[in-house]
Amino acid sequence: MTAVPTLDWPHVFEAGEETAPVFLMLHGTGGNEHDIVPLATALDPAAGVLAPRGAVSEQGMNRWFRRFSEGRFDVDDVVARAGDLAGFVEWARGHYGLGDRRIVAVGFSNGANIALAAALLHPDVVPQVIAFSGMYPLDDRAVTSDLSGSRLLVLGGDADVMAPLPSVIRLVRVLGERGADVRHVLRAGGHGIAEGDLAAAKEWLAA
């Protein structure tokens, strides 16, 4: 993990109820730390919210890491930014007095990809993820982390051209091979968050 500007990193924090989880909310390309918050409320109104802003700008749009083109990620940047995010989470846990509260990363699209990268590379910091319309974020980079303590929910459409099914299948396979408890929910359709995805996420959170 690299040093990150903590208080200077734009983010939203809402404490929620002490017995509820804290959702690490990670927006998609072009989003921000504010417009992802309603998704947290839809999943659990009692939950805390920690929502940072992606630190990369692509033609004025906020993103979590650089890419060369659609679907072609700068994997070195993915790795570095995943480390930054893990460092931010560790800072926030101490700064906001979160103690041992459960933190669940919830990401959509590009936010799902950075959540998955952080979970693959820093499972001690990001052990639980709900990934809406995400894909495998590390290209041909080998994953050596022990994920036996990790739990992930991967949701998406079978016709999602922005998160192609072969990449999603690879993601689920790698997670399983490294020992993670992973559930894959596949629906008919493309990129986005469907009502069925929300229902599956609520069920997973309650399990």
Active site residue 191: yes
Catalytic residue, candidates 27, 109, 122, 197: 109
Active site residue 160: yes
**The tokens of 118 are what?**
């952080």
Provide the residue type at 86 as one letter.
A
Catalytic residue, candidates 145, 181, 184, 191: 191
10 Å CB burial of residue 69 (0-12, 13-18, 19+) is exposed
Whole-number Cα distances in Å, 72 to 66, 102, 131, 140, 191: 9, 32, 19, 12, 17
Sign of the alpha-carbon dihedral angle for 152, 171, 105, 187:
negative
Residue tagged 């930054």 (tokens): 84
Residue 132 CA to residue 168 CA, distance in Å, equals: 11
**The tokens of 156 are what?**
């998406």
Active site residue 140: no
DSSP letter, residue 145: -
Residue 65 CA to residue 175 CA, distance in Å, equals: 21
Provide the residue type at 81 as one letter.
R
Catalytic residue, candidates 44, 84, 160, 197: 160
What H or E segment, with its residue span, contains residue 197? helix 195-206
Catalytic (active-site) positions: 109, 160, 191
